[in-house]
Structure 1
Amino acid sequence: MLIVMAGLPGSGKSTVAEGSATALGLPVVSVDPIESAILSAGIDADQPTGLAAYLVAETIAESVIASVGGVIVDAVNAVEPAREQWVKLAARRGIPIRFVEVVCSDENVHRARLEARGRQLAHIAEPTWHAVEQSLDEWEPWSGESGAVPRITVDSVHPVPVLVDQIAAFVRS
C-alpha cells in the first residue's frame, strides 16, 4: 500500500508518519531531507529543487514498493499535481493508495511547534509562521484523481498514539 501524508509545514506530518510507520511496519520516504541533499550538492536554491525532491521521492518510493510492498510518503502535497503524482505511482504499481491529511486545529499549538522545531536539515531553513500562512493560501482543494482516493483527516492536537490508531484502522479498512 502507498500511504501519502499531506499537510502544512509544522502540522505534525512527520511525527505522525513515523508513528504510523512503526505501527504498520512500513518505511517512510520524506521529501524534505531529499531536497536538503539536492541543495547540498550545489544546486542553486532558485532552481525547482522542491519539484526535483518530489520526483526523487517518487523514484525511491517506487523502488521501496517493489522490494517491500508499501511505503509512507511524507510531504506537504499542497497542490493537485503533487497528489496526482502519487495516485499515478499507485496505479503503475497496482497497489492501493490512501491519503492522510494532517491538520492542527489550534493555531497557537501549530505555531509553537513550528517555532520550536529543529530538524537539522542543513540546507533548508525552517519555515516561518508567515510562510505557513502563505502555504495555506496556496493549498488546493482535493479534486481530480486525488479527490477520488480515500482520505482521512487527523488533527494533531490529539496524542500521536491516538492518531496512529485512527490511521491504522483507516488503511486496514
Structure 2
Amino acid sequence: MLIVVGGLPGVGKTSVARAVAGELRAAHLRVDAFEVALLRQGLVPGAAEVGAHGYDLALAAADTCLTAGTDVLVDAVFDVAAARRPFRDLAAGHGVPVHWVRLICTDRAEHRRRVEGRSADLPGHVVPTWEQVRARRVDQWHERHTVVDTATGDPAAAVLAALRG
C-alpha cells in the first residue's frame, strides 16, 4: 500500500510518519530529505528552485519500493493537488490502495510553539518561520482522506487505527 501523509510544517508529519512506518515496517520517504540532497549535491542553485524536484525523487523511490512489494509512506506538505496527483496515479498503476492522511494542529499556540522551537534535523535543511507557515496556502484536498489533529491524543495511533479500520 501507499500512505501519503501531508500537512503544514510543524504539525508533526515526520514524527507521526516515523512511528507509523516503523509499526507497519513500511519505507518512509521524507520529501525534505530529497530536497536537502538536491541542494547538497548542487543540483539546484537554491531552496527557491527546488520546486517539485523533491516530490519527483520521492515518487521514483516510491515506485521502486512498490515494485519490490514494499509498503511506502510518503511524508510531505502536499499543499497542492498537483503534488498529490502523481502519487494517486502511482498507486493505481501498481494496483495498490493509497491512503491519504492530512495532519492538522487545531491549537494555534501549540502549532506556533512547535514551528518556532524546531531545529533542522537534516544537515542543510532550513525550517520555515511561523510567518512563512501562516502565509502558506493549501489547496483543498479532494482525495478521500483521514484528518488527524496532532494537538491532542496520540496522532500516530489515530493514523494506524484509520489505516486498519
Q: Which runs of 5+ in 1 are unaligned?
A: none
Q: Who is 1:165 aligned against?
A: 157
Q: Who is 1:82 aligned against?
A: 83
- Return the offset for 1:122: 3.0
Amino acid at match of 1:156: T
Q: Who is 2:37 aligned against?
A: 37
Q: Who is 1:156 aligned against?
A: 150
> C-alpha distance in 1, partners of 2:91/2:123?
31
> C-alpha distance in 2, partners of 1:116/1:3?
28
Q: Which runs of 5+ in 2 are unaligned?
A: none
Question: Counterparts in 2 of 1:23-102, with a 5 A limit?
Answer: 23-42=23-42, 43-45=44-46, 48-102=49-103
TM-score, normalised by the number of residues in structure 2: 0.92
Deviations 1:92-147 (A, max 9, x none): 11100011100011111111111111233333311000110111xx210123xxx2
- Return the offset for 1:47: 6.0
Deviations 1:5-45 (A, max 9, x none): 01000111111111111222212000001100100111201
Higher helix share: 1
Amino acid at match of 1:139: V
Q: Who is 1:141 aligned against?
A: 140
> C-alpha distance in 2, partners of 1:113/1:164?
17
Contact 1:36 1:124 in 2 (8 A): yes
Mark the CA change 1:13 to 1:91 in structure 2 (over 3 Å): closer, same or farther.
same
Contact 2:7 2:76 in 1 (8 A): yes
> C-alpha distance in 1, partners of 2:99/2:112?
27
Contact 1:10 1:113 in 2 (8 A): yes
Aligned residues: 164
TM-score, normalised by the number of residues in structure 1: 0.88
Amino acid at match of 1:120: D
SS of equivalent to 2:82? helix
Contact 1:23 1:164 in 2 (8 A): no
> C-alpha distance in 1, partners of 2:149/2:141?
17
Q: Who is 1:128 aligned against?
A: 129
Question: What's the % identity of the aligned pairs?
Answer: 34
- Return the offset for 1:46: 6.1
- 2:20 is aligned with 1:20: yes
